[in-house]
Amino acid sequence: MAKLGITSDGASFTRRLSSRTRRLKLYKQDLVALDLAAVASKAPNLETLELGSNPLRALDLTPLTACPHLEGLVITAEAPIDLAPLAECANLRWLHIHARGWPALDLAPLAGLTHFESLLVHGGAFEALALAPLATCAALRSLSLHCPALRQTSLAPLAAASQMTSLTLQHTPLASLTLFPWPNLQNLHLLAVPITEIDLLPLHAGQLTRFQCVQHALTQVDLTPLVELETLSTLYFQPLPRLLLDDVYVHHPARILSPAVRADVEADLCIATGRGARLKVLLARLRQAPPSVSETMESYAEMDEATFWRLIADAKREAPADDLPAELVRRLWALPDAALQRFHELFWRVMGQPGFDVHETVFEVCGGCSDDDFIDFREWLITQGRERFYRVVNDPQVLHEWGEGGLGFEEGVISQPLYLMGRVRGVQM
């Protein structure tokens, strides 16, 4: 056992390491100090090091230069950390920084890292962030900023980032935002970003699949640039701004967007054809001819967490292949309004239980996991039942045993029928 650090109560922290150690995950270990020299000497073949949710007061990254295979790093620290040693980590692919109160963040050491693909920055007290160093990271695919003090940054240095597939800005108070024609951008998420206007023209010829804009200050959005996008499957605005097409107010976006998109303006949501269309037809039929309520359906009326999991299990057991959403609709339809609202509350409470440690483990197992992917993974995990769900929540490492082939990603498998049900029933959720 090697002594690696000290916890907040002054106790020594030890861990068994060897040259065969590839991943070291030290989440929530209450570490205030960590000796990376000891880590590097004992585990020279380290590929990923995750130090999430620790109150580290200082951290010298220099010893990591002795780990030539290092690909991923998660840092959480109470004080700024010098990233300079990372310039020598030639194989670094992803970096997650949880900058608790950092007054500044310098990304210069990342410049020129040819394999670097993904950067996530969370927190910080800095009001400006220069992204220019990322311009020379030719493999950059994903950028996620959740920086509540950030008021000045420009995406212009990334204009030529041809491999960019995902951009997320969350609780980042930027007053303006300029997009660029990233040819491979698939996911764009603007969550609580107070922009008042956005020009979508740069995205007109790309591969955009999902555009989400929540808690914004937009009064109107011109959808004209998106009309020819065959890849677009999901638009989400909340609240709903005035939607325009060639300067004309659009009452029914489904009639003018690509056939791959169906829009429900009142629901603030555009949903894909296929499952979404089938569910709407089913809901229309249920309104016209409600089914008889069985004893089993009546037993769902007293909705608590145990009932929530039982309804999910019953629906999965009875559902035809790949048609769980439709079976959920049938069962949710029989619920009283109060029970439906309670099911909605429980669903989002359960969705919030798999935390950052689960997200990171999915990232490791699958070689990547965007914010969207993690939403889809959690919905899939709920459909696997209560026992498997809490097994993952309590011990994320079990996902390594399941392997990539044993994990699933189900977009809207529960949330979509639940949302549509609320809309049709007129239940506020």
Give CA–CA dist 66/276, Å, rounded. 52
Structural contact between residues 268 and 236, judged by C-beta atoms closer than 8 angstroms: yes
Give CA–CA dist 248/338, Å, rounded. 40
355: phi then psi, degrees, rounded to nearest 5: -100, -160
Give CA–CA dist 227/347, Å, rounded. 34
Residue type, 329: V
Considering only CA atoms, which of 95, 40, 42 is closest in space to residue 67?
40
Give CA–CA dist 54/32, Å, rounded. 7
Considering only CA atoms, which of 390, 376, 380 is closest in space to residue 306?
390
Confidence of residue 244 (pLDDT cuts 50, 70, 90): low
Q: Are strands 248-249 and 242-245 parallel, antiparallel or unpaired?
A: antiparallel
Structural contact between residues 31 and 54, judged by C-beta atoms closer than 8 angstroms: yes
In angstroms, how far apart are the furthest CA atoms of the chain?
A: 70
Tell me which of 304 and 236 has the higher pLDDT: 304
Considering only CA atoms, which of 141, 120, 190 is closest in space to residue 107?
120
**What share of the chain in percent tops pLDDT 70?**
86
Q: Is the pLDDT of residue 84 over 60?
A: yes
- Residue 92: partners with Cβ closer than 8 Å, 6 or more residues away: 70, 71, 72, 73, 86, 110, 113, 115, 116
Per-residue pLDDT at 291 = 52
State pLDDT tens for residues 354-363: 988 999 999 9
DSSP symbols for 251-267: S-GGGTS-TTEEEEGGG
Give CA–CA dist 17/360, Å, rounded. 21
Give CA–CA dist 279/269, Å, rounded. 15
Mean pLDDT value across residues 391-399: 94
The whole-model pTM stands at 0.65
* Partners of 128 in the β-ladder: 152
State pLDDT tens for residues 190-217: 988 998 889 999 998 889 888 888 877 8
Q: Is the pLDDT of residue 337 over 70?
A: yes
pLDDT averaged over every residue in the chain? 84
Write the DSSP symbol of residue 304.
Answer: -
Question: Among 99-108, 230-239, 385-394, which stretch is predicted with the lowest mean pLDDT?
Answer: 230-239
* Correct CATH for 1-164 of 3.40.50.720, 3.90.1560.10, 3.40.50.2000, 3.80.10.10: 3.80.10.10
Per-residue pLDDT at 287 = 58
**Helix or strand holding residue 388 (H, E):** helix 386-394
Mean pLDDT value across residues 115-137: 95
375: phi then psi, degrees, rounded to nearest 5: -60, -50
Q: Six-digit token pair at 389?
A: 């769900």
Domain ranges of the chain: 1-164, 185-273, 289-429
Sign (positive/negative) of CA torsion 334, 336, 337, 338? negative
Give CA–CA dist 225/269, Å, rounded. 18
Confidence of residue 248 (pLDDT cuts 50, 70, 90): very low
Q: Is the pLDDT of residue 429 over 90?
A: no
Tell me the CA end-to-end span of the chain in Å, nearest whole number: 52
**Helix or strand holding residue 339 (H, E):** helix 337-351
Coil, strand or helix: which one is 168? strand
DSSP symbols for 49-64: EEEEEEEES----GGG
Q: Is the pLDDT of residue 332 over 90?
A: no
Dihedral, 250, 252, 256, 261 alpha carbons, nearest 10: 130
Sign (positive/negative) of CA torsion 348, 429, 384, 23? negative
Q: Six-digit token pair at 136?
A: 């020379």
Per-residue pLDDT at 296 = 55
Give CA–CA dist 113/160, Å, rounded. 16
Per-residue pLDDT at 255 = 36
Residue type, 386: R
Considering only CA atoms, which of 30, 48, 53, 214 is closest in space to residue 123?
53
Structural contact between residues 164 and 137, judged by C-beta atoms closer than 8 angstroms: no
Using a 10 angstrom Cβ sphere, with 0-12 exposed, 13-18 middle and 19 or more buried, the burial of residue 310 is middle
Question: Among 232-241, 279-288, 328-337, which stretch is predicted with the lowest mean pLDDT?
Answer: 279-288
Give CA–CA dist 389/379, Å, rounded. 10
